[in-house]
Amino acid sequence: MKDDLFFNLDHGYAEGLCRGFKSGILKPADYHNLVQCETLEDLRLHLQSTDYGNFLANDASPLTVNVIDDRLREKLVQEFQHLRNISYEPLSTFLDYITYAYMIDNIVLLITGTLHQRAVGDLLPRCHPLGSFEQLGAITIADTPAQLYNAVLVDTPLANYFIDCISEHDLDELNVEIIRSTLHKAYLEDFHKFCKQLGGVTAEVMCEILAFEADRRAFMITINSFDTGLTQDERFKLYPRCGSLNPDGLQELRRTDNYEAVKDVAARYPIYRALFEGAGTSTGEKTIEDKFFEREVELNRNAFLRQFHFGIFYAYLKLKEQESRNIIWIAECIAQKHRARIDNYIPIFH
Amino acid sequence: MSGKDRYNVFPSRMAQTIMKGRLKGAQTGHNLLKKKADALAIRFRSILKKIIDTKMLMGDVMKTASFSLAEAKFSMSGDFTQVVIQSVTKAQIKIRTKRDNVAGVVLPSFESFNDGGDTFELTGLGRGGMQLQRLKRNYAEAIKNLIELATLQTSFLILDDVIKVTNRRVNAIEHVIIPKITRTINYIVSELDEMEREEFYRLKKVQEKKKQARALQEQKRVEMVKNGVLTGTEEEAPNILDEEHDEDNLFL
């Protein structure tokens, strides 16, 4: 109740803005037009009539997919920054939490770079803008990951994730992917706790989305680690605990060592059973990743059906990202003249 | 063109034998070189065919590989390319060169081997791992194709060069060396013939002179017999102790 009555005081404008952005997300008709383009110039033309407008107007004539990628990301970042700037607490903390995921990616990139003695000046432009924080520029002073942690990371909001899971000794030795997965696990669990704390509709919507995200990560880590040197116990440490698979499903997953076994574990949960059944591993069929994407899009779309909660901001960001990926996919298919699988984008609205 | 040249030799039988030997050597050399040129040409044509096939295959493989890169980018949200680029330390696929010998020509061939494990095993652990594995496979195949193509192309260039050189030599032997030797031999033969003729003529002349001398002596003897100095029946017995010059017996 409290939500509904007082929500609009602080967050009404932000919510309105967000819903406005959401209505600019491309519809099936737009996708239909894009798929029929022959060249990237046609693509640019068609995008002009959508909410994107002239965002590619300043780019020189031989348009490349990388340029389109950069511009899409810029636009997304702009919209998100605007939302962040006009938000009040606790919405601003919520939006900050969303950016932590990008910060994790940036930090992993920087750690990798320092491990291999790359010039930090090269690395900084490659970081995701949504994940920038003040100490990002100060990374230059550190030579080893341990120094990096002590000097820089300790002051960031991500410091807790590092403390929870890895000591600074491990930073040097562990494979960067394991670092990334561990950080992401801590982040998801933290975010889940925060949303639960917020209570109300936000908790309902976000916890469902985050639980799905946790389960999805558990499944994907399991499937992707089958042929690698990752042991079952190491894998178990990377599973986030805030999903619906916790604790039995995770134990079962830990013991699996092929795709069929994972499918059996999923069969005990009706939603995941449906997803796995629709998927196959051969080319031409939808992979389980595609099904997961579709389910994520569905959950995000449903977030907009309820009002007075923060979930729509998260959902909007994720949907816009998915749309960017779709556009890039279509652009790549057009540029490489490989139109066989051009329809493999994930449709957002029906 | 100095095509009417011949070797400067003194025309003798010895020189003739030597020249004949050289001719034989040149002809054998010519045959061998021709065989070599043919073998190289066969190998050349087969390499050409393989190059064409590999290049066509290359086009397809690269297309698939680029497309799988697009797929991987689609399912891995986030720019995984940067992390990969930054964590590269050394080459994973390296090349060893082996030597192939074709009709005496040394052709290098490249053989790839995997040095070190796959440092990117865990990339894409959270999401996109399957596409990444496919991407790695596709590009590994593209590299294999490229290496094959590199071998074929170096062989092609080297062979091309060697074939040109060999053909040049074959033609040189056929059109320059052998005719020169043949002309020299002909010259020697003609000179020898002429010398023989001269010799013959000289002998004939000497014989004539001798006949004349003998006829003259016979006349003198007949006169002396007529004059009663000699009876004409005595034969002069040769005196071994006399250092008389013995006439040559010319069995002509």
CA A157-A244-B78 angle, 5° bins: 45
In a domain, A191, yes or no: yes
Distance CA A153, CA A146 (A): 10
In a domain, B124, yes or no: yes
Annotate A85-102 with DSSP letters as a single string: HT--TTHHHHHHHHHHHH
In the predicted structure, residue A310 carries a pLDDT above the cut 80: yes
Put simply, the answer to whether B78 touches A176 (Cβ < 8 Å) is: no
ipTM: 0.82
| B66 in contact with A, Cβ within 8 Å | yes
The predicted structure's pLDDT at residue A287: 80
Instruction: Tokens for A329, please give them.
Output: 């996919």
How far does CA A305 lie from the centroid of its chain? Answer: 21
- Closest by Cα among A25, A9, A119, A12 to A320: A25
| A339 in contact with B, Cβ within 8 Å | no
CA distances from A340 to A171, A280, A296, B2, B201 (A): 43, 19, 25, 70, 100
ω into A90 cis (within 30 of 0): yes
Structural domains in chain A (count): 1
The predicted structure's pLDDT at residue A149: 72
In the predicted structure, residue A167 carries a pLDDT above the cut 70: no
Instruction: Tokens for A278, please give them.
Output: 């629709």
Min Cα separation A321/chain B (Å): 8
CA A268-A274-A276 angle, 5° bins: 85
The predicted structure's pLDDT at residue B1: 44
Best mutation target, A289, A294, A324, A346, to test chain B (most B CBs within 10 A):
A289
In a domain, A28, yes or no: no
| B121 in contact with A, Cβ within 8 Å | yes
Query: Which residues in chain A are closer than 8 Å to B130, comparing Cβ atoms?
Result: 223-224, 281, 287, 289
In a domain, B77, yes or no: yes
Structural domains in chain B (count): 1
In a domain, B60, yes or no: yes
The predicted structure's pLDDT at residue A55: 82
The predicted structure's pLDDT at residue A338: 85
Half-sphere exposure of residue B32: CA atoms within 13 angstroms, side-chain side: 8
Position B103, amino acid: A
| B12 in contact with A, Cβ within 8 Å | no
State mean pLDDT over A245-273: 87
In a domain, A107, yes or no: yes
| A109 in contact with B, Cβ within 8 Å | yes
Put simply, the answer to whether B70 touches A224 (Cβ < 8 Å) is: no
| B127 in contact with A, Cβ within 8 Å | yes
In a domain, A266, yes or no: no
Instruction: Tokens for B160, please give them.
Output: 């091309």
In a domain, A182, yes or no: yes
- Closest by Cα among A267, A286, A283 to A346: A286
Residue of B nearest to A332 (CA): B70
In a domain, B128, yes or no: yes
- Closest by Cα among A296, A97, A320 to A212: A296
Q: Domain span at residue B155?
A: 13-187
The predicted structure's pLDDT at residue B3: 54
In a domain, B166, yes or no: yes
* H or E element in which residue B106 lies: strand B105-114
| pLDDT tens digits, one per residue of B153-167 | 999 999 999 999 999
Residue ranges, chain B, pLDDT below 70 = 1-3, 77-78, 117, 230-236, 238-239, 243-244, 252
- Closest by Cα among A126, A70, A133, A127 to A96: A133
In a domain, B203, yes or no: no
Min Cα separation B132/chain A (Å): 10
Nearest to B78 among A105, A118, A289 (CB): A105
Q: Domain span at residue A153?
A: 76-198
In the predicted structure, residue A232 carries a pLDDT above the cut 70: yes
In the predicted structure, residue A166 carries a pLDDT above the cut 70: no
Least confident of A28-42, A218-232, B38-52: A218-232
Nearest to B70 among A220, A225, A336 (CB): A336
In the predicted structure, residue A208 carries a pLDDT above the cut 60: yes
- Closest by Cα among A154, A155, A271, A282 to A215: A271
| B201 in contact with A, Cβ within 8 Å | no
Give me chain A's average pLDDT, please: 84
In the predicted structure, residue A254 carries a pLDDT above the cut 60: yes
Nearest to B86 among A105, A123, A333 (CB): A123
In the predicted structure, residue A242 carries a pLDDT above the cut 90: no
In the predicted structure, residue A235 carries a pLDDT above the cut 70: yes
In the predicted structure, residue A210 carries a pLDDT above the cut 50: yes
CA distances from B82 to A108, A110, B140 (A): 11, 10, 19
Query: Which residues in chain A are closer than 8 Å to B67, comparing Cβ atoms?
Result: 332-333, 336, 338
In a domain, A125, yes or no: yes
In a domain, B56, yes or no: yes
The predicted structure's pLDDT at residue B37: 93
| B11 in contact with A, Cβ within 8 Å | no
Distance CA B120, CA B187 (A): 80
CATH number at residue B33: 1.10.287.3240
The predicted structure's pLDDT at residue B234: 61
Min Cα separation A276/chain B (Å): 15
